[in-house]
Structure 1
Amino acid sequence: MVGVEQFPASWQVLPAAVRSVLDTVVIRERIRAVIVATEPSVHMPYVLWALERGLSVLLDKPLSVHTGASVDPESARTIAEDFDTLMDAYRKACLRDPGVVVSVMSQRRWHPAFQRMRDLIAEVAQVTNCPITNIQSSHSDGQWRLPDELVNLGYHGFDRGYGKAAHSGYHEFDIVPWLLAAGERPGKELDEVEVHAHVARPADTLAQLTVADHERLFPGFAERNPYGHTELQQLTSAFGEVDVFLSMAYRSGDRTMTLGSINLAHHTFSQRGSLEPALAGLYKGNGRIGQETHIIQQGPFQALHFHCLQTLHDDEPGVDRAAVGGADHVTVHVFRNNRLRPDWKRHTTLDFADLTQGAGPGAALPTQRSSRNRAVTEFLHYLTGRTPRGHMVSDLATHRRPARLMAGAYLSMAHRFTSTGPAPVRLSFRSALTGMEDHLVPLEAAR
């Protein structure tokens, strides 16, 4: 373990002292690759340093974020520019050393349920020429922060002017366009997205559940909490988003191909029941429960319903981990128009067992844990020559659309907050890979 001194999140280049420490370690230990899993506001300088050094990178999500992104339009706009900066550095690094790779930890791309849904979408698009026409996505995680914790706990907090969309929202920003791409057909390619955000910030959640409400719910809270309701409203007025609801229109030319929504929420069903948290960070554990749904319509031909509905994260006697409410619950419902195509089944349910790929210790399970393991293993296999570059599932070059969606979400939030521009934001959504096409192959070939 080697410590480096902290530096402002606004710096896009590592300070000389930090570079010196890291360069020394790279030379001494003959490092070839790094994992960047810092606070996301400083992802950029570390990745740029690594690429300059010719190091491959496993990059945690999101690619980047900036202080004040949900309250300052310039900070939000920079998120889109960051992708171009990273890609420019990536191209230059590959010219110097073709073996350099940047893989992004968007683990849903490795998740068997999402891979199966992508295959089903592509199959129907091939037969009918119909893209995805509607997609509704929702992710909630029950992160219940009490009023004083909104101010006092900074880890994955809201005080930097961003929140849920940067904490875990990138997973949805990534997987939605990844699924949409499976349904794109010649002449129906998506080239623009319009994003409109509605936000609930800490000041709003304090109106939903007031200080007085918390005093009634938790004996002892009044003695612990040093802040009054009015003071908390003032302190948190410019904090980042706790919950955000996004509506999107994905267009090809001047025609809407797909309508969509992404609902990202912390302030949801939780299993926290105590005043004092078991873990100080509050981001993991402490009753934080993930529930995720995707409802996909492919015109009159197919509907897919993905449900991951947890009520606990850990083992509990008598609870089936894969059953509804279990720690590993996942189900995909497939509906198809079998009156048009008698060879299609009207309804198919894919459960945990149906979605498991392989057998034994090496099986690809339909869980986030297993998918994260696959992402890391793929990166290590690439470094040791066992996975070709073109088979990498989440190469940085394929993340232009997720970066644009995240930038659009924050730009809409910031415009709404400052009243300085239109809340609906329109961004280019073309999937150009900016010069990296020759290195990549479709996921189907990779599998």
Structure 2
Amino acid sequence: MSAAMNVLVIGVGPHTHLNHLPALAAAQDAGLAGTVTGVDLPHAAACAVEYGTPGRPRRMPVTPVQPFPASRSALPDAVRRVLEDVVGRDRIGAVVVATEPSVHLPYALWAMERGLPVLLDKPLTVHPGASTDPAAAQTIADDFDTLLDAYRTARRRHPKMVVSVLSQRRWHPAFRRVRELIAEVAEATNCPVSSVQSSHGDGQWRLPDELVDLSYHSFDRGYGKAAHSGYHHFDTVPWWLAAGERPGKEIDEIEVHATCTRPSDVLAQLTVADHARLLPAFAGRNPYTEQDLLDLTAGYGEVDVFLNVAYRNRGRVMALGNHSLAHTSFSQRGPLPPAAGGLYKGNGRIGQEIHIVQQGPFQALHLQVLQTLHRDDEGIDPRAVGGADHIELHVFRNNQMRPDWQRHRTLTFADLIQGSGDSTVLPTQRSARTCAVTEFLGHLNGRIGRSELASDLADHRRPARLMSAAYLSMARRAANNGRPTSPVVLDFHRAVSPAERSLAALGVPR
């Protein structure tokens, strides 16, 4: 078993504070991680970052690097020198890339070239203007090929190299259970998944002036919902579909049509005047006219995006998909001032999502996450519908054809818990993220085999292409003055098949 790795975290913003650092602190407690060092832009590196577990506070030193254009595929020499100094000084053995995603590519390429294992945050990459510029949208798919080529090269030089993608639903017990149920019925019937309806609403109510004044997930750079929480759906749905693929029924092509709303649409749905009536103090705060806002947000990214997808095999539709991704959804924001710390959490943002998976005439799976925000003293069961941790999976099976199948059963929060003791994984996003970090470091420490890794980079060709297709559809429509265009068609082969997941498949001798 190897010694605990010292970890370099590139990007220490709110997302890292909420997600990565608690998991890394738990890994330090478990002996999986050594020191944790940060790198970020100067404004974020002004002081050490406080993090830790209960009773064990820690401070992470943060070294500044200068910003550089998102269009670069290689790090500037000055940034590279800073990173090399940190790696040598702190004896870094692994890297977490948690920056703004438009610069994921150069940081990940640098780490692989350096022989450092990488935990790469989702999405893999994105480019400014992706929702309006077809070339930027296409580059999302091309970037995956660049990453995979670099990964293969790194694996030949460093056989223990691993790049794991932190798309946490792959570790979430409820989403894993759906995949297992799909595989079980596919094995019994030879029937793939025939349709998937997925929706996600995060209740982010941004007031008109905040569209301009508060930056959020680089919405002002020409991409939005599809590039952050949307990637989870682009990853999860193909991952589920793959569990139902049978010989001769593998998906090899997608046809995608996307429709989105932009700030101009949101300002028509609920106008500046509407906000002034609903929130009397808003008019005194807001310096912008509606025309000002339309002009200032003209190049912004999508707010909501809905996709219709045909998943094909040799021209025949194997599955139909409808994927609805919305910021404009039920919210619990009330106060006029935004929550301290920005829009990442707070401002009434909640988690509600529903997935309906049909598997021919044999099985239907309904996964429901219907949460609200509430205080502990309100007497609300956090695991019930409307609770902060609600999740429920309904399983329907054709017991008329198979009497040994149960007609309907409901799996609640308690039913979906996996493991026990220190290995317990709760059916929550936070627990799944912790599991992702633990698995990555556990592999580097020799406790988890490569075949057990849930989210190897090589498995992410399909989500990268689905995300690229979504943006291509949006961008082509934008380039056509908002008029409909032909659907986007892309090949959808896997980068590696399950049978090829070995060292030899990545060009490394057995």
TM-score tier (shorter): over 0.9
- Verify the 8 A CA contact 2:194 2:319 in the aligned structure 1: yes
The C-alpha deviation readout for 1:212-238, integer Å capped at 9, x for no partner, is 011111121111111101121122122
- Looking at structure 2, the residues matched to 140 and 436 of structure 1 have their Cα atoms a distance apart, in angstroms, of 37
Q: Secondary structure at the match of 2:369?
A: strand
* Partner in structure 1 of residue 501 of structure 2: 437
1:315/1:405 CA distance change after superposition, 3 Å:
farther
Distance 1:112 1:28, change over 3 A: same
Q: What is the 5 A alignment of 1:31-50? A: 31-50=92-111
For 1:135, give the aligned amino acid: V
- SS of 1:169 mapped into structure 2: helix
TM-score (norm 1): 0.96
Provide the C-alpha distance between the structure 1 equivalents of 2:250 and 2:340, rounded to a whole number of angstroms. 46
Q: Please tell me the residue identity of whatever aligns with 2:320.
A: L
What residue is the counterpart of 2:490 in the other structure?
A: 427
Under a length normalisation based on structure 2, what TM-score does the superposition of the two structures give?
Answer: 0.84
For 1:304, the equivalent position in structure 2 comes to 365
Cα drift, residue 423 of structure 1 = 4.1
| Cα contact 1:294–1:307 (8 A) shared by 2 | yes
- Secondary structure of 1:32's counterpart equals strand
Number of matched pairs:
441
- Structure 1: distance between partners of 2:197 and 2:181: 17
Where 1:67 maps in the other structure, the secondary structure is coil
Aligned pairs (5 A) from 1:2-41: 2-41=63-102
Compared with structure 1, are the counterparts of its residues 385 and 76 closer, same or farther at alpha carbon in structure 2 (3 Å cutoff)? Answer: same
1:406-421 equivalences under 5 Å are: 406-419=467-480
Offset of 1:255 from its aligned partner?
0.6
1:440 and 1:424, CA in 2 relative to 1: closer, same or farther beyond 3 A? farther
- Residues 269-292 of structure 1, C-alpha deviations (whole Å, 9 max, x = no match): 011001101224212122101101
**Could you say which residue in structure 1 is the equivalent of 2:286?**
225
Q: Secondary structure at the match of 1:159?
A: helix
Decide whether the 8 Å contact of 1:389 with 1:439 is kept in 2: no
Note the C-alpha offset of 1:422. Answer: 3.6
Task: Describe how 1:287-298 pairs up with structure 2 within 5 A.
Answer: 287-298=348-359
8 Å CA contact retained: 2:451, 2:501: no
Q: 1:141 to 1:348 in 2, by over 3 A?
A: same
User: 1:195-223, CA deviations, whole angstroms, 9 ceiling, x for partnerless residues?
Assistant: 10000011100000000011111121111
User: What displacement does 1:135 show?
Assistant: 0.3
- 1:445 aligns to what? none
CA deviations 1:103-158 (Å, max 9, x no partner) are: 00011011111111111111111111110001001111011111011011113142
CA contact (8 A) 1:150 1:157 kept: no
Asked whether the equivalents of residues 254 and 492 of structure 2 are also in contact (C-alpha less than 8 Å), the reply is yes
Relative to structure 1, the CA distance from residue 314 to residue 259 in structure 2 (aligned partners, 3 Å threshold; closer, same or farther) is farther
Pair 1:372 & 2:439 matched: no
Which structure 1 residue ranges, 4+ long, deviate > 6 Å from structure 2? Answer: none
Structure 2: unaligned runs, 5 residues or longer: 1-61, 506-510
The answer on whether the counterparts of 2:357 and 2:365 sit within 8 Å (CA) in structure 1 is yes
Compute the displacement of 1:437 (Å).
2.7
Match of 1:444 in 2: none
Structure 1: segments with no counterpart, 5+ residues = 442-447
Name the aligned partner's letter for residue 115 of structure 1. Answer: R
**283-292 or 35-44, larger mean C-alpha shift:** 283-292
Counterpart pick for 2:405 among 325, 338, 344 = 344
1:427, CA displacement in angstroms? 0.5
> Kindly tell me: are residues 396 and 440 of structure 1, through their superposed partners in 2, closer, same or farther at Cα, counting changes over 3 Å?
farther
* Partner deviation per Cα, 1:150-194 (whole Å, 9 max, x = no partner): 011113142100000012110000000000001000110000000
In the alignment, structure 1 residue 134 sits paired with structure 2 residue 198: no
Q: Structure 2 vs 1, CA of residues 313 and 140 (structure 1 numbering), >3 Å: closer, same or farther?
A: farther
Structure 1 Cα separation of the partners of residues 389 and 375 of structure 2: 9
Aligned to 1:281: 342
From the superposition, tell whether residues 343 and 206 of structure 1 become closer, same or farther in structure 2 (CA, over 3 Å): same
